[in-house]
């Protein structure tokens, strides 16, 4: 559904009602992505279906390589990026898992590839519904990771992602995450910007590699020893340790560019998402701060309103930039808060929810550390209701009074009481 309206008096924009997947596809179109390589997987398939449609009717001049697996999808993206094109893909869950081998490869080669991740839980058992396990499980390979709460944010973040990733101070691949089904398949109004304005904001890619330029012969990504190589007149070359140091430092430094690009986008297009790192809702006077990302943060917004009505001074921090992890920024934000209640739609299995334990590590060193209580919610698409958030906040308030600190996980939303004497051993026996 399209309405070409002057919005805010600006006749250049167009509003459409789009699913999250389609918002990503429109962003790819307007970012003039040169090569897309993708493989179908629920709930991402509509992204590439839309792109195929755009190409077919001439709206997009992009080479779409329809590969035979996600592992090949990211391999094609890496090769196409190294040859000098702007590239992107989309996937979810096991698709991302199959890409895993290529994730550190893309980061180590400093290729500005964009992946749209329609989050989906990991099997076993099979699940097509959302949680953040796929998003968080790749956090150590060296990609920038940004999370979205609305379809407008998906479109806006994609445009920004290309600019961030391709910045010469960055050159790091980037994942744009958004909840499967909750955003990917839900229609929301999305303002699409005028192409010329997008082109001004996002100039053509100036890659640091570019194999297509045959005037310089390059070997890319050879075996790299632990040592620095010194061949006198011919030059020196870094060892593996130096290459990875460079990636890590660039990733740390990219926080500044993420904020820069966010602010520039806000100035040019009038839409902002907190400070680009997190969004804060009513935290200034908050006694309790809820901390979450993506769909959980969206649900928490409703819970906050309700709790405030009932007299509790509660605020919300919705994390947008998950990697590079904004430890210093979060430490500064939370240092004077007394109680933080965290809802993870994921588990760092064997330990706690990832938002939970990473925040605890960020706050290390504070003289008077806030009390932090984390809950696991919503795995495999289990609905997370306003009541669940409220229940969690109330439990946290009670537990803070005891002062007990636990490193085991607590779940909200389980329905074990609905299981009628389920026991796998007994399950197959006749009644």
Partner 1 sequence: MDLPEEEFIYPGTRACAGCSMALIYRIALKALGSNTIITVPASCLTVLHGMQGFCTTKVSVLHTPFATTGASASGILASLEDKGLAEDINVVAFAGDGGTVDIGIQALSGAVERGTDFIFACYDNEAYMNTGVQRSGSTPPGVFTTTTPGGKTGYKKNMAKILEAHGIPYVATAISSYPLDLYEKFQTAKEIYGPKYIHILAPCPPGWGYDPKDSIEIGRLAVQTGFWPLYEVNEGKFILSKDSKRFLDASKRKPIEDYIKSQKRFKNVKTKDIVQYKDYIKALWAEIEQRIEKE
Partner 2 sequence: MTDTKKDYQKILGSVQKPVKGEAGKTGTWSAKKPIIDLDKCIPVKSGKPSCYNCWLFCPEAVISRTIPPEIDLDYCKGCGICMEECPVKAITMEEVKIE
State the Cα–Cα distance between residues 247 and 107, nearest whole angstrom: 7
CA distances from 151 to 22, 27, 30 (A): 9, 11, 15
User: To the nearest whole angstrom, how small is the minimum distance from the Cβ of residue 176 to partner 2?
Assistant: 23
Instruction: Kindly determine how many residues on this chain lie close enough to bind partner 1 according to the rule CB under 8 A.
Output: 50
Phi-psi region at 154: left, alpha or beta (left = phi > 0; alpha = psi -120 to 50): alpha
Is 63 among the residues that bind partner 1 (CB under 8 A)?
yes
- Here's the x/- map for partner 1, 97-116, by CB under 8 A: it reads as ----xx--x-----------
With CB under 5 to 8 Å by kind, the binding choice for 80 among partner 2, partner 1, none is partner 1
Which of 125, 203, 231, 425 touches partner 2 (CB under 8 A)?
A: 231
Question: In the numeric block, which tokens belong to residue 176?
Answer: 């744009």
User: To the nearest whole angstrom, how small is the minimum distance from the Cβ of residue 252 to partner 2?
Assistant: 9
Is 137 among the residues that bind partner 1 (CB under 8 A)?
no
Is 227 among the residues that bind partner 2 (CB under 8 A)?
no
User: To the nearest whole angstrom, how small is the minimum distance from the Cβ of residue 265 to partner 1?
Assistant: 26
Is 249 among the residues that bind partner 2 (CB under 8 A)?
yes
Nearer to partner 2, 238 or 380 (CB): 238
**Please, are residues 413 and 384 in contact by the beta-carbon 8 Å criterion?**
yes
Is 58 among the residues that bind partner 1 (CB under 8 A)?
no
User: To the nearest whole angstrom, how small is the minimum distance from the Cβ of residue 109 to partner 2?
Assistant: 4
Is 203 among the residues that bind partner 1 (CB under 8 A)?
no
Nearer to partner 1, 75 or 92 (CB): 75
Stretch that binds partner 1, among 45-53, 119-127, 233-241, 376-384 (CB under 8 A): 233-241
Stretch that binds partner 2, among 130-138, 196-204, 220-228, 354-362 (CB under 8 A): 220-228
Nearer to partner 1, 48 or 77 (CB): 77
User: To the nearest whole angstrom, how small is the minimum distance from the Cβ of residue 181 to partner 2?
Assistant: 37
In this structure, the strands spanning 229-230 and 236-237 are antiparallel
User: To the nearest whole angstrom, how small is the minimum distance from the Cβ of residue 97 to partner 1?
Assistant: 14
Radius of gyration of the chain (CA): 23
Residues 6+ apart with CB under 8 A from 242: 228
Q: Which long-range contacts (CB under 8 A, 24 or more apart) does 243-251 make?
A: 243/108, 244/108, 247/107, 247/108, 247/110, 247/142, 247/172, 248/142, 250/110, 250/169, 250/170, 250/171, 250/172, 251/142, 251/144, 251/172, 251/323, 251/324
Which of 15, 55, 128, 246 touches partner 2 (CB under 8 A)?
A: 246
Q: Which long-range contacts (CB under 8 A, 24 or more apart) does 51-60 make?
A: 51/25, 54/25, 54/29, 59/29, 60/28, 60/29, 60/33
State the Cα–Cα distance between residues 317 and 282, nearest whole angstrom: 9
Vertex 133 angle, CA 130 and 135, to 5°:
95
Which of 2, 169, 199, 218 touches partner 1 (CB under 8 A)?
A: 218
Which stretches of the chain bind partner 2, using CB under 8 A?
Answer: 108-111, 168-169, 171, 208-209, 217-222, 224, 231, 234-235, 237-238, 240, 242-243, 245-246, 249-250, 253
């Amino acid at each position: 559904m399209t309405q070409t309206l002057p919005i805010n008096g600006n006749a250049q924009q167009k509003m459409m009602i789009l699913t999250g997947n389609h918002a990503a596809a429109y962003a790819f179109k307007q970012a003039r992505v040169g090569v897309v390589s993708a493989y179908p997987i629920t709930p991402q398939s509509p992204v590439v279906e839309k792109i195929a449609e755009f190409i077919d009717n001439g709206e997009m001049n992009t080479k779409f390589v329809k590969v035979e697996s996600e592992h090949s999808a990211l391999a094609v993206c890496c090769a196409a990026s190294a040859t000098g094109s702007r590239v992107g893909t989309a996937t979810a869950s096991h698709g991302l898992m199959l890409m895993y081998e290529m994730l550190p490869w893309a980061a180590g080669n400093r290729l500005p590839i964009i992946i749209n991740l329609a989050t989906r839980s990991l099997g076993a058992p099979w699940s097509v519904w959302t949680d953040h396990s796929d998003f968080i499980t790749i956090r150590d390979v060296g990609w920038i990771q940004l999370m979205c709460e609305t379809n407008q944010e998906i479109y806006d973040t994609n445009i920004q992602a290309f600019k961030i990733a391709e910045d010469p101070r960055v050159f790091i691949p980037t994942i744009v995450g958004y909840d499967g089904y909750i955003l990917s398949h839900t229609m929301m109004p999305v303002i699409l910007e005028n192409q010329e304005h997008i082109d001004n904001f996002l100039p053509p890619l100036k890659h640091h590699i570019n194999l297509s330029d045959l005037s310089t012969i390059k070997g890319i990504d050879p075996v790299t020893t632990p040592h620095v190589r010194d061949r006198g007149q011919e030059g020196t070359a870094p060892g593996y340790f130096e290459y990875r140091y460079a990636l890590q430092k660039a990733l740390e430094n990219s926080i500044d560019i993420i904020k820069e690009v966010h602010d520039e986008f806000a100035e040019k297009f009038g839409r902002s998402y907190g400070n680009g790192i997190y969004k804060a809702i009513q935290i200034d006077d908050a006694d309790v701060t809820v901390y979450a990302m993506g769909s959980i943060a969206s649900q928490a917004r409703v819970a906050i309103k309700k709790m405030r009505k009932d007299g509790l001074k509660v605020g919300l921090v919705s994390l947008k930039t998950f990697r590079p992890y904004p430890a210093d920024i979060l430490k500064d934000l939370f240092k004077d808060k007394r109680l933080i209640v965290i809802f993870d739609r994921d588990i760092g299995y064997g330990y706690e929810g990832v938002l939970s334990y990473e925040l605890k590590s960020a706050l290390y060193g504070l003289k008077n550390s806030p009390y932090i209580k984390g809950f696991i919610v919503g795995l495999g698409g289990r609905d997370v209701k306003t009541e669940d958030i409220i229940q969690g906040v109330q439990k946290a308030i009670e537990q803070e009074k005891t002062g007990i600190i636990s490193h085991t996980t607590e779940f909200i939303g389980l329905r074990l009481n609905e299981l009628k004497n389920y026991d796998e051993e007994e399950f197959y026996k006749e009644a």
